[in-house]
Amino acid sequence: MTPPATVYLVGAGPGDAGLLTVRGAELLARAQVVAYDALCNPALLKLAPAEAEIIFAGKRSADHAIPQDQLNALLVEKANQGKTVVRLKGGDPFVFGRGGEEAQELAAAGVPFEIVPGISSAVAAPAYAGIPVTHRDHCSSYTVITGHERPEKGNESAIDWENLANNPGTKIVLMGVERLRAIADQLQKYGLAADTPVALVRWGTTGRHQTLTGQLDSIADAVEKANFKSPAVTIIGSVVNLRAELNWFEQRPLFGQRVVVTRTRQQASVLASRLSELGADVLEIPTIRIEEPTDKSPIGDAILGLGSYQWLVFTSPNGVDHFFKYFLRGFEDLRDLGGCRIAAIGPATAAKLKALHLKIDLMPEDYTADGVARAFTDSEDFTIENENICLLRAEVANPELPKALEDLGAIVDDIPVYKTVPETEDRTGAVARLETEGADWITFTSSSTAENFDARFGLKETLKQHAMQPISIGPETTKTLKALGVPPKVEASPHTIEGVVEALLSQ
């Protein structure tokens, strides 16, 4: 009989995907089954293998996607099938996360397990709101309590409200928005001053982060007036006053802006990470994915005939990646490229080539067909008349570039090294969020991202429904957007990912 695999109870942290521990990321990367809670950032699921089984085990108050006893049995079942299981839990597994109960069930079933602690929202959410839970001038302790207890306890509270009210430290309440009025009343009943500062932090550490402040005797009214809903962390104590001085997260330039990123899943993280660092709430909705070309014989012929080319022209990082994937299947040494000169369109493409320690002989300042042709025309070092050019790019691409090169007298082989196909998977739930919450901006980094978003959702209708503004990376993408009836609000300059970021910052 095959022994059971290990179940890993992994703390997903408070919401910011960057706060996942290194150990947690390592385990997700080799998980065969991932069971995740509602308060886990779904973006973390991208770390799991594409073939991993993903199970939503979300729990919100009394609304459980999978009842706890059934979930426990499921973890045991999957482990007994020999599958490595990551049980991804919001915050820390042992801080009001029922991780202890799940671990007990695994132990009773003889299933090996490991606990991977996570950063609790009890300290992270206040920190992102500029509130230290302890401070030498205010308090030297903090107490964390749950805002709701086991339903079967009824009116008999396990919390010593008198002791809590008279404790001079910071009080932190998790999951207590619905019972905030009763909590405030209890604390005042046992002597905590009515004017004690209070803050609530909703969706702390994420792009949806919101903070509401007040004082103990009126905070429940403020919450109702603002319709301030869970999930939120409540902080009670004088440390809340430090927020006026220490509020850093909400001061970032894109805070409060929701931005849709439509790049491929593999590429989206670069733009998404940069936008997140600047405070944006990023929805990653890839509209394309990269696959091998339909017919691989042209690239095979081109690689075998490399000696006949004077130029290799790469138009994108994808082209570099896929060309060298095929090239290195047949050759073991980059010197087998021969004496070809290399042209790169765009700094990201150039960076890929430089990473391979290849010299770039030409990089146009303008990333359009006319710009490439002009760069060849203006060069004093060479001419491409009667020279053989191997143009390495997507299977479906703008026909203007090979024509512009041929007009200069070049002999062009237009070789597809990859193709883009529509992406329809939504592992992170970003599509649902866009439909219910909308967004402020949507970024397009290629014509294919725009065309496929339109085919999947209806671009013009979606922009109108959510009052979103499109941003284009460059002239070719802008041309496509205009053809779809939605001219961009702004076009990036330079036509790069950083240019897209700068375009957003300028608005």
Tens of pLDDT along 81-94?
A: 999 999 999 999 99
Query: What is the structure's pLDDT at 150?
Result: 40
More confident residue, 252 or 150: 252
Instruction: Give residue-wise pLDDT tens across range 305-317.
Output: 999 999 999 999 9
Instruction: Give residue-wise pLDDT tens across range 276-305.
Output: 999 999 999 988 888 999 999 999 999 999
Q: Which of 93, 118, 143 is the last residue of a domain?
A: 118
Query: What is the structure's pLDDT at 152?
Result: 36
Instruction: Give residue-wise pLDDT tens across range 365-422.
Output: 877 778 888 898 888 888 899 999 999 999 988 898 999 999 999 999 999 999 988 8
* Residues 481 and 470: beta-carbon distance below 8 Å: yes
Sign of the torsion formed by the C-alpha atoms of 84, 89, 95 and 98: negative
**185 domain-assigned:** yes
Provide the mean pLDDT of the chain: 91
* Residues 6 and 113: beta-carbon distance below 8 Å: yes
Same-domain status, 465 and 410: no
Q: Which amino acid is at 433?
A: R
Does 59 participate in catalysis according to the annotation? yes
154 pLDDT above the threshold of 60: no
Same-domain status, 344 and 406: yes
Does 281 participate in catalysis according to the annotation? no
Instruction: Give the Cα separation of 372 and 350 in Å (integer).
Output: 14
Domain with residue 408: its CATH number is 3.40.50.10090
**2 domain-assigned:** no
96-112 mean pLDDT: 94
**1 domain-assigned:** no
Same-domain status, 499 and 436: yes
117 pLDDT above the threshold of 50: yes
As for how many domains the chain has, the answer is 4
Which two tokens mark 311?
Answer: 């130029």
Query: What is the structure's pLDDT at 81?
Result: 95
153 pLDDT above the threshold of 60: no
Same-domain status, 141 and 246: yes
Query: What is the structure's pLDDT at 411?
Result: 96
Instruction: Give residue-wise pLDDT tens across range 20-71.
Output: 999 999 999 999 999 999 889 988 998 999 899 999 987 655 555 788 889 9
Domain with residue 38: its CATH number is 3.40.1010.10
Helical axes 447-457 vs 475-483, angle rounded to 10°: 30
* Residues 338 and 306: beta-carbon distance below 8 Å: yes
* Residues 73 and 112: beta-carbon distance below 8 Å: no
**368 domain-assigned:** yes
Instruction: Give residue-wise pLDDT tens across range 484-499.
Output: 999 999 999 888 889 9
Q: Which of 391, 422, 453 is the last residue of a domain?
A: 422
- As a dihedral over the C-alpha atoms of residue 67, residue 435, residue 263, residue 50, rounded to 10 degrees, the angle is 20
Catalytic residue among 16, 89, 171, 175: 175
Same-domain status, 429 and 281: yes
Neighbour tally for 479: CB within 10 Å: 17
Q: Which amino acid is at 282?
A: V
Compute the chain's Rg from CA coordinates.
28
Query: What is the structure's pLDDT at 97?
Result: 83
**238 domain-assigned:** yes
Q: Which of 57-66, 132-141, 147-156, 331-340 has the lowest mean pLDDT?
A: 147-156
Instruction: Give the Cα separation of 259 and 414 in Å (integer).
Output: 35
| Per-range mean pLDDT, top range of 4-13, 158-167, 255-264 | 4-13
Same-domain status, 232 and 244: yes
Domain with residue 201: its CATH number is 3.30.950.10
Catalytic residue among 59, 78, 89, 419: 59
Query: What is the structure's pLDDT at 280?
Result: 95
Same-domain status, 283 and 427: yes
Query: What is the structure's pLDDT at 365?
Result: 83
Rounded to 5°, the CA angle 383-387-392 comes to 105
Instruction: Give the Cα separation of 110 and 97 in Å (integer).
Output: 22
112-119 mean pLDDT: 97
Same-domain status, 417 and 436: no
Spell out a b/e string for 151-171, using b for 16 or more CB atoms within 10 Å of the CB, else e: eeeeeeeeeebeebbebebbb
Query: What is the structure's pLDDT at 381?
Result: 82
Name the nearest CA neighbour of 181 among 148, 218, 229. 218
Same-domain status, 275 and 333: no
**60 domain-assigned:** yes
Which two tokens mark 322?
Answer: 């896929």
266 pLDDT above the threshold of 80: no
Integer angstrom CA distances of residue 505 from 252, 285, 492, 501: 11, 21, 11, 6
**412 domain-assigned:** yes
Same-domain status, 216 and 334: no
Q: Which domain holds residue 427?
A: 258-287+423-505
pLDDT band for 156, please (50, 70, 90 cuts): low
Same-domain status, 147 and 182: yes
Q: Which of 86, 118, 150 is the last residue of a domain?
A: 118
Q: Which of 45-54, 277-286, 425-434, 460-469 has the lowest mean pLDDT?
A: 425-434
**239 domain-assigned:** yes
Percent of the chain with pLDDT over 70: 96
Does 37 participate in catalysis according to the annotation? yes
Same-domain status, 405 and 302: yes
